Chains A and B, each alone.
Chain A
C-alpha cells in the first residue's frame, strides 16, 4: 500500500454498472516526509475519506477486496485514514 493525500474528486455518470455508488477520489502519493511523489491517481473510497486527509491506498487486484463479494473493477482503493498524530510524529 502507499500513503497519499486526497486532493479532489471525480464525477462520472456514465460508468461500469459495478462502480455505481462508488466515491471516486483524486489521490496524490506522498513521500515519507509528506511531500508530493509522482503522478496523481484516481481511487475508490472504502474508508470514508475526505479531501485534505492523508490516506492508505491499496493498489492492484487487492483493491477490489474491500467490496467482496461484490465485484468492483478498481485498481486503487482507499482502505485507511492516517491518524493525524502519526503525521505530526513524522516531522
Chain B
C-alpha cells in the first residue's frame, strides 16, 4: 500500500454505472516524512477520509477487495486514515 495525502475531490457525472455512489478523491502519494512523491491518483474512498488527511491506498485488483467494490472498475481505494507513520532510524 501507499501513504497519500487527500488533496481534492473528483466529480464525474458521466461515468461507468458501477462507479455511481462511490466517492472519488484525488490523493497525492507521500513518503513517510509527508513529502509528495510521484503523480496524484484518483482513489475510491471507503473510510470517509477528509481533505488534508494522510491515508492508506491499496492498488491494483486488491482495491476491489475493499468495502463494496467487488465488481467496480477501480484500481485504487482508500482503506485507512493514518494516525501515525513512524520511521525508526
Chain A residues packing against B (C-beta within 8 Å): 7-19, 24, 26, 39-43, 51-52, 60-61, 63-64, 71-76
Question: Any chain A CB within 8 A of the CB of B86?
Answer: yes
Closest-CB distance, B31 to chain A (whole angstroms): 7
How many A-B residue pairs have C-beta atoms within 8 angstroms? Tell me. 100
Q: Is the CB of B56 within 8 A of A12?
A: yes
- CB A27 to nearest CB in B, in angstroms, measures 10
Residue ranges of B at the interface with A (Cβ–Cβ < 8 Å): 1-3, 29, 31-32, 37-38, 46-48, 56, 58-63, 65-67, 77, 79-89
B59 touching A8, Cβ below 8 Å:
no
Is A73 touching B58 in the complex (CB atoms < 8 A)? yes
Beyond A16-B67, A39-B29, A42-B2: 6 further Cβ-contacts under 8 Å? A8-B88, A11-B84, A26-B32, A51-B88, A60-B60, A61-B62
Q: Is the interface of B mostly helix, strand, loop or mixed?
A: mixed
Residues of A within 8 A of B60 (CB): 60-61, 75
Contact of A16 among B3, B46, B86 (CB under 8 A): B46
Q: How far is the CA of A9 from the CA of B83 in the complex (A)?
A: 11
CB distance from B39 to the nearest CB of A (A): 13
